[in-house]
Amino acid sequence: MSTRTTTIGVDRTRATARSGELAEWYAEHGRHDLPWRETRDRWAVLVSEVMLQQTQVARVLVAWPAFMRSFPTPEAAAAVPVGDLLRAWGRLGYPRRAKRLWEAAAIIAVRGWPDDLRELPGVGRYTAGALAAQADDLDVAALDVNVRRVLERVEGRSLTEGAAHEAMVDIGAPLRGRDRLLALMDVGAVLCRPRDPDCDACPLHDRCSTRGVRTDERRSRQPAFAGSFRQRRGVVMAELRAGPAPVGGLDAEALASLVADGLAIVAGPTAALP
C-alpha cells in the first residue's frame, strides 16, 4: 500500500515520506489546501483556530467559508448582534466560542489588535501563538494537542510547557514560524494519530523514541455527548437559531444555563438569541 487519501483529499506516499525529512514531507504532503491556509489575514486565521479548538476539520471546512462570507472582518462581526454570530455558528457546538469571537471582534474593531493577543476573549496561549505564527510568521512555538502528542512521542516522555517549546524548535528545525507549526500539526493530524499512528510513513521515524508503542500517554477522552447536558443545550440552541420560541416548550435547565452564559435571552414567555 503506497498511497492513501485523508478526509481532505491529501495523497500521501509512504516511500517518499520515509526518505524525506519533516520539511520535505510537509512541502509534498502538508494540508496546504485547507482554505484558511490561503490567507495570512489575522481575523480569518483567528476564526479558523477558534472553530478548530473543539471541532473536527471536516466540519470546520463547511462552516468557515460561510462564516467568513458573512463576517469577513472584525468590524463586520462587531456590527451585528451576537445572535447573528450564534446563528452563523450553526451546529459547530460550544457556542460560547462564537460569543467570545464576537466580543473579540468588538475590541479589535474599536482599538485594533492588542500587542498581547491573549487580551482578546477566548484567546489563550496556544491560540495567540498559533495566530502569531500563521498570520505574522513569527518564530513562536505553539502547542496544541496534536503537536504535543508528536513531540512527546518523539521524545519518549511527557514534556513540561517549556520543554515542549524547546522540543518543538528542535524537532521542527530547520522550519520556523508558520511552516514549523503547520508541518507538526499535519504530522499529528495525518500520521501521528492518537490511535494507530502511521510510523512507517512518518518523516520523524528515524529520530522517534517510541514509534507509537508508548503506553503511558495521558488519554483525554471527550465525555459522551449523547444524553449529556451539552446535548440538551445544543437542542435548545438549535430551536433558537430557527427563531424565537415559547419558553414553556424548551428544556428549562438548559435554557437557564444558556441565558446565564449570554447565549439566549428570555422576554416574558419567549426565548430568543441575543
| CB of 263 closer than 8 Å to CB of 86 | yes
Q: Report CA torsion sign: 104, 108, 113, 116.
A: negative
Which set of grid coordinates corresponds to residue 188?
A: 499529528
Question: Which phi and psi angles does 177 have, rounded to 5°?
Answer: 50, -125
What does DSSP say about strands 245-246 and 270-272: parallel, antiparallel, or unpaired?
A: antiparallel
The piece of 7-15, 123-131, 206-214, 220-228 that touches ligand SF4 (CB under 6 A) is 206-214
24: annotated active-site residue: no
Q: Report CA torsion sign: 15, 18, 20, 23.
A: positive
Site for ligand SF4 contains 211 (CB under 6 A): yes
Site for ligand SF4 contains 132 (CB under 6 A): no
The piece of 69-77, 98-106, 207-215, 262-270 that touches ligand SF4 (CB under 6 A) is 207-215
- Number of Cβ atoms within 10 Å of the Cβ of 50: 23
Smallest gap from residue 216 Cβ to ligand SF4 (A) = 14
Site for ligand SF4 contains 192 (CB under 6 A): yes
| Rounded-to-integer distance, Cα 4 and Cα 10, Å | 8
Smallest gap from residue 189 Cβ to ligand SF4 (A) = 11
| Rounded-to-integer distance, Cα 50 and Cα 56, Å | 12
Which set of grid coordinates corresponds to residue 246?
A: 415559547
The piece of 13-21, 55-63, 147-155, 216-224 that touches ligand SF4 (CB under 6 A) is 147-155
| CB of 51 closer than 8 Å to CB of 63 | yes
Site for ligand SF4 contains 197 (CB under 6 A): yes
Site for ligand SF4 contains 157 (CB under 6 A): no
**DSSP string covering 168-190, please?**
HHHHHTT--HHHHHHHHHHIIII
Site for ligand SF4 contains 150 (CB under 6 A): yes
Select from 72, 90, 212, 244 the one that contacts ligand SF4 (CB under 6 A). 212
| CB of 55 closer than 8 Å to CB of 149 | no
Site for ligand SF4 contains 204 (CB under 6 A): yes
Looking at the Cβ atoms of 23 and 266, the one nearer to ligand SF4 is 23
Site for ligand SF4 contains 262 (CB under 6 A): no
| Rounded-to-integer distance, Cα 8 and Cα 105, Å | 29
Looking at the Cβ atoms of 60 and 208, the one nearer to ligand SF4 is 208
Smallest gap from residue 264 Cβ to ligand SF4 (A) = 43
Site for ligand SF4 contains 172 (CB under 6 A): no
- Write the CA distances from 166 to 141, 160, 163, 170, integer angstroms: 8, 10, 5, 6
| Rounded-to-integer distance, Cα 231 and Cα 268, Å | 25
Smallest gap from residue 31 Cβ to ligand SF4 (A) = 16
Smallest gap from residue 193 Cβ to ligand SF4 (A) = 8
The piece of 29-37, 80-88, 117-125, 195-203 that touches ligand SF4 (CB under 6 A) is 195-203
Site for ligand SF4 contains 202 (CB under 6 A): yes
List the catalytic residues: 49
Contact positions toward ligand SF4, by CB under 6 A?
150, 153-154, 191-192, 197-199, 202, 204-205, 208, 210-212
